[in-house]
Amino acid sequence: MNETILTIKNLSVYFKMGTRITKAVENVDLVLKKGETLALVGESGSGKTVTAMSILKLLPESATYPSGTIEFDKKDCLTISDEEIRKIRGNKIGVIFQQPMTSLNPLHRIGKQLKESIFLHQQFSNSEADERALLWLERVGLKNPSNKLASFPHQLSGGERQRVMIAMALINEPDILIADEPTTALDVTVQAQILNLIRDLQNEMGMAILFITHDLTIVRKIADRVAVMKDGQIVETDLPETIFTKPAHPYTRHLINSEPKGRPDPASEDDATLIKVEHLKVWFPIQKGILRRIVDHVKAVDDISFTIKKGHTLGIVGESGSGKSTTGFAILKLNNSQGKIILGENSLNDMDKLAIRQLRKRMQIIFQDPFGSLNPRMSVSQIIGEGLSVHHPGMTPAQEENEIIAVMEKVGLDPETRQRYPNEFSGGQHQRIAIARALILKPEFMVLDEPTSSLDRSVQFQVLELLKKLQKEFHLTYIFISHDLKVVKSLCHDIVVMKDGVIVETGDSDKIFSHPEHDYTRQLIATAFQGQQF
């Protein structure tokens, strides 16, 4: 068990693009022992994927290796020939990638892709390969494996596709499995299943796993050892207990401290109701046939009701496909819905388009993709000030300028940078720009649609602190849509749990976290907080 099978010594990877050199990895030392799970942790841009991909030389042409060796099976992976490395790929070392959809060829059936892996490395006949493929699909826990052999990737769900990927990676029983954030794109419950599967297979096969992730919860669950990376260098390598209880390096400390914690500032029960949603339905019609007859509906949101008090934060929790974002959009009248949506004294579904446009300055939204919600051709000042031109047409350019500078300072952006374009800012700053754009109109409430799920933990922490601060200062009401229960716990006063378009549980956040009633809620909480005390 203690035998070393992979040694990375002093590895450096530089990317050369024209005259620009990007130092992705610098002097990294890593050791992987037989049968152990090494978690490689770091934020986006830290170099974890580059390090792992260089083991199999899967990096693009622009990658250069100014120093270092990667020793596997008594050979240096960096210097052996292409033919030799091909013998290792998929055979001795398997890889699982992050995005299950794009890693599978959409034009080939699952069976064909599985067998491809077998035929490349072993001499099997067609029927033997078929048997083997079927065996592995069963082993990774797919239901109806014989049907799945003949299916295409788009006919499978995300979790099923990831299982197929795992089967493909392990079908030749490699010594090492490189798992590059395999569960990031999956729902929380599916995540748990996939992690359990990987662990079971590891125990069965005795292979080593290099697990790349930025999620410390997963690290807690599965790692035997942890290596922390920052800016292309390894800052700390240790056992998980030590890392979490006595982190040595300041960056590790910083990472651990960025886990969402605390509780929202208390809000009074006596506050007036700001938003009331009654029997909200968002049904998308399914049209079939030449005459486009409506045969059925996709019931994204199916009869839900809740209220939100002024100054409170309501968390809408659920997995992808549960209807949470659709609800948020429906409240903002960004899609069509039935039922009553009451904001203050206005019933939004009974108003015409023009009246709703007037009302929009009272309700704003922050989107999930920070960069996608900003027009790349507009400068930051134009983006932030756009709302002003609609709702305050009488303002002079000078007044507008002052408002923009004021709100930029409020969200923590340097007003001197307001003439730059979005691509010159980082992800966290994009969200600040989006928050500024919403805030400048002095809204009463904001829908936050998973605003931090694509951000790194430490950046997430800063953005969430900013949102808390703004809520206190401007007495804002938030609807916080998320699948991340840890973040919801630290931010929300009331919670609504959604599944398949309906509300399964609702209540005060303290009550829900301490005494969840519905099974689904219990499952979500267990998966999110596994291995921790509340």
Partner 1 sequence: MPVKKINLKKFRLSKINQERWNRFRSNKRGYIGLYLFSILFVLTLFSELISNDKPLLIYYDSSFYCPLVKEYAETQFGGEFEAAADYRDPYVIELINKKGWMINPVIPFSYNTINYNLKGPAPSPPSKTNWLGTDDRGRDVVARLLYGFRISVFFGLTLTICSSAIGIVAGALQGYYGGTVDIFGQRFIEIWSSLPTLFLLIILSSVVQPNFWWLLGITLMFGWMSLVGVVRAEFLRGRNFEYVTAAKALGLSDTKIIFRHVLPNAMVASITFMPFILGGSITTLTSLDFLGFGLPVGSPSLGELLAQGKANMQAPWLGLSAFILLSLMFSLLVFIGEGVRDAFDPRKVY
- Pick 302 or 386: Cβ nearer partner 1: 386
Long-range contacts of 459-465 (CB under 8 A, 24+ apart): 459/43, 459/426, 459/427, 459/428, 460/258, 460/260, 460/428, 460/487, 461/257, 461/258, 461/260, 462/412, 462/428, 463/428, 463/431, 463/432, 463/435, 464/260, 464/490, 464/491
Residue with tokens 């008594």: 74
Q: What token pair was written down for 326?
A: 């659709």
How far apart are CB 423 and partner 1 at their closest, in Å?
A: 5
Instruction: State the Cα–Cα distance between residues 448 and 366, nearest whole angstrom.
Output: 5
Instruction: State the Cα–Cα distance between residues 488 and 483, nearest whole angstrom.
Output: 8
Residue closest to 370 by CA, chosen among 360, 382, 380: 380
The edge-to-edge listing of strands for the beta sheet with 63-72 is: 20-33, 4-17, 63-72, 75-76
Contact of 361 with 437, CB cutoff 8 Å = no
How far apart are CB 299 and partner 1 at their closest, in Å?
A: 22
- Pick 5 or 332: Cβ nearer partner 1: 332
- Pick 250 or 372: Cβ nearer partner 1: 372
In terms of DSSP bridges, do strands 338-343 and 346-347 run parallel, antiparallel, or are they unpaired?
antiparallel
- DSSP characters for 33-101? ETT-EEEEE--TTSSHHHHHHHHTT-S-TTEEEEEEEEEETTEETTTS-HHHHHHHBTTTEEEE-S-HH
Instruction: State the Cα–Cα distance between residues 341 and 487, nearest whole angstrom.
Output: 27
How far apart are CB 387 and partner 1 at their closest, in Å?
A: 4
How far apart are CB 403 and partner 1 at their closest, in Å?
A: 14
- Pick 156 or 447: Cβ nearer partner 1: 447
How far apart are CB 373 and partner 1 at their closest, in Å?
A: 5
- Pick 212 or 463: Cβ nearer partner 1: 463
How far apart are CB 275 and partner 1 at their closest, in Å?
A: 16
- Pick 332 or 492: Cβ nearer partner 1: 332
Neighbours of 434 (CB within 10 A): 26
How far apart are CB 366 and partner 1 at their closest, in Å?
A: 9
- Pick 264 or 385: Cβ nearer partner 1: 385
How far apart are CB 295 and partner 1 at their closest, in Å?
A: 19
Using DSSP's 3-state secondary structure scheme, residue 320 falls into coil
Which amino acid makes up residue 495? Answer: I
Residue closest to 430 by CA, chosen among 393, 382, 463: 463
Residues that bind partner 1 (CB under 8 A): 332, 334, 357-358, 360-361, 364-365, 367, 369, 372-377, 379, 386-387, 390-391, 416-417, 419-421, 423, 434, 437, 441
- Pick 362 or 468: Cβ nearer partner 1: 362
- Pick 441 or 498: Cβ nearer partner 1: 441
- DSSP characters for 221-233? HH-SEEEEEETTE
What are the two backbone dihedrals, phi and then psi, of residue 336, each rounded to the nearest 5 degrees? -85, 140
How far apart are CB 365 and partner 1 at their closest, in Å?
A: 5
How far apart are CB 356 and partner 1 at their closest, in Å?
A: 8
- Pick 373 or 506: Cβ nearer partner 1: 373
